[in-house]
Amino acid sequence: MAAAGAPQERTLLVFGDSLSAAYGLKAEEGWVTQLQNRLRQQGYVYKVVNASVSGETTAGGRNRLARALDTHQPAIVILELGANDGLRGLPVPAARENLGAMIRAAQERKARVLLVGIQMPPNYGPRYAESFAAMYPQLAQEHKVPLVPFLLEGVALDDRLMQADGLHPNAAGQPRLLENVWAHLLPLLER
């Protein structure tokens, strides 16, 4: 039982793919664990639940989200999906619809949503890459949610911060991912 006057712990749900699941790293090296540590250090009373699954697509996430929302009842959802749709060349309108449905589901349960954007490399063709990149700001505007423009900003093109696969940040890149998210998350946090 919480002491009288003590703030009640809220849940922050990170719902993403391998970029948030610390793929190829120890869990404690990932940006999500670093987020939990920062919240504690700065006096925010949040429990971070990482429901990220490596390889997850927006369709898979859409199928899983209701259960995660019901189980954890988060105050905030960080939604970081789409990279696997893009890497598989799946249709952007389907990804957009899935992400929109997930945002609506979280908002219907009174959770605040932070949408995390991903970009595709230009070798997927300029039309696809541009359409994919535009999807996130369009969704953020449509659903009135804040947006991290590009999770891998300052990381993706730096070999020192990426694993050998060229797709996943290494341990040295994780603090930058946290910084990319933190600035947009901060206005959503409550003391």
Q: Quick one: average pLDDT of 1-5?
A: 52
Catalytic (active site) residue 54: no
User: Going along 17-128, which residue ranges are E strands?
Assistant: 46-50, 76-80, 112-116
Catalytic (active site) residue 18: yes
CA distance 101 to 1: 36
Q: Quick one: average pLDDT of 52-62?
A: 98
| Token couple for 40 | 């504690």
Confidence check: pLDDT of 4 > 70: no
- Classified as helix, coil or strand, 48 is strand
Percent of the chain whose predicted confidence (pLDDT) is above 70: 97
Instruction: Specify the pLDDT at position 167.
Output: 93
Q: Output the 3-class SS for 1-16.
A: CCCCCCCCCEEEEEEE
Identity of residue 30: G
Q: Summarize pLDDT for 102-148 with one digit per residue, the tens.
A: 999 999 999 999 999 999 987 888 899 999 999 999 999 999 999 99
112-116 β-sheet, strand order: 46-50, 10-16, 76-80, 112-116, 147-148
Query: CB of 135 within 8 A of CB of 143?
Result: no
- Give the number of C-alpha atoms closer than 13 A to the C-alpha of residue 81, restricted to the C-beta side: 35
Burial class (CB in 10 A: 0-12, 13-18, 19+), 110: exposed
Catalytic (active site) residue 72: no
Confidence check: pLDDT of 178 > 80: yes
Query: How confident is residue 1, by pLDDT bands cut at 50, 70 and 90?
Result: very low
Instruction: Specify the pLDDT at position 3.
Output: 52
Phi and psi at 155, nearest 5°, equal -120, -45
- Please identify which of the residues 52, 85, 168, 184 carries the catalytic annotation: 168
CA distance 57 to 63: 10
- Please identify which of the residues 18, 20, 52, 131 carries the catalytic annotation: 18
Q: Summarize pLDDT for 70-105 with one digit per residue, the tens.
A: 999 999 999 999 999 999 999 999 999 999 999 999
CB neighbour list of residue 187: distance below 8 Å, 6 or more residues apart: 146
CA distance 21 to 16: 7
Query: How confident is residue 191, by pLDDT bands cut at 50, 70 and 90?
Result: confident
Q: What is the mean pLDDT of the chain?
A: 95
Query: How confident is residue 26, by pLDDT bands cut at 50, 70 and 90?
Result: very high
